[in-house]
Amino acid sequence: MSDDAIERLHQNWSEELPRGWMDWRTDQVGDMDVLVSRRGSVPHVDTRGAVLAEVLGIVVSPSSAVDRYVDEHADGTLDIPQYYSRFPERGDEPVHSVENSSLWSACVEGALRLLNGNGQYARDEFTLYDCLDDSNPMPCPMLRDDVGCVLIAPALSTDTDHNLTGSNSAVD
């Protein structure tokens, strides 16, 4: 992971990101620089059936880049559970679906834990944007004000990959 990417992340967001339990690499999604998770384990998240490697990415770019991305790709916001215990027990259960794409519960919970850690959280500090357009599903940003933003790749009900930088993520 590039020291430059970490320095820019800290300048644009919070010193507490990234958390130490992931293995990161830098990449680009849309017009945003992102630290993409290389492996898929997230402490306290049941990933049965869900693969988290290459699915979560911390946005390095400033919040203005996230705002542009949301303006271009988002169709409203999605609710997140009020407590970790209210996430579906199986990680491969969708928390939101549109046509042939879904957001898996393990991915949404993993993004929340990246931005918050494992302790209690206030749901109103987080915004999850719906970018699962019927024809061109895009990674969905979860934003925590003044802390950071994590992109979540949609799970596609096709035989192709569903990750942030794969063929279905519309990387520029």
Please say if the pLDDT value at position 88 is more than 80: no
**pLDDT score at 161:** 44
One-character DSSP codes across the chain: --HHHHHHHHHHS-TTPSPTTS-EEEEEETTEEEEEESS---TT---TT---TTTEEEE-S-HHHHHHHHHHH--SEE---SSGGGS-SSTTSEEEEETTEEEEHHHHHHHHHHHH-SS---GGGEEEE----SSS--PEEEEETTTEEEEEPPEESSSS--STTSTTS---
Predicted structure pTM score: 0.84
Confidence of residue 160 (pLDDT cuts 50, 70, 90): very low
**Domain-by-domain residue ranges, the chain?**
3-156
The pLDDT of 47-56, averaged and rounded, is: 66
Q: Which of 10-24, 97-111, 125-139 has the highest mean pLDDT?
A: 125-139
Please say if the pLDDT value at position 16 is more than 70: yes
The pLDDT value given to residue 168: 43
Q: Residue 76 above 80 pLDDT?
A: yes
Structure tokens at 127: 């915004």
What is the predicted pLDDT for the residue at 74? 95
Using 50, 70 and 90 to split pLDDT, how confident is the model at 10?
Answer: very high
Higher pLDDT, 154 or 64: 64
Q: HSE, CB side, 13 Å, CA atoms: give it for residue 163.
A: 18
Greatest mean pLDDT among 90-94, 116-120, 122-126 lies in 122-126
- Whether residue 14 is predicted with pLDDT greater than 80 in this model: the reply is yes
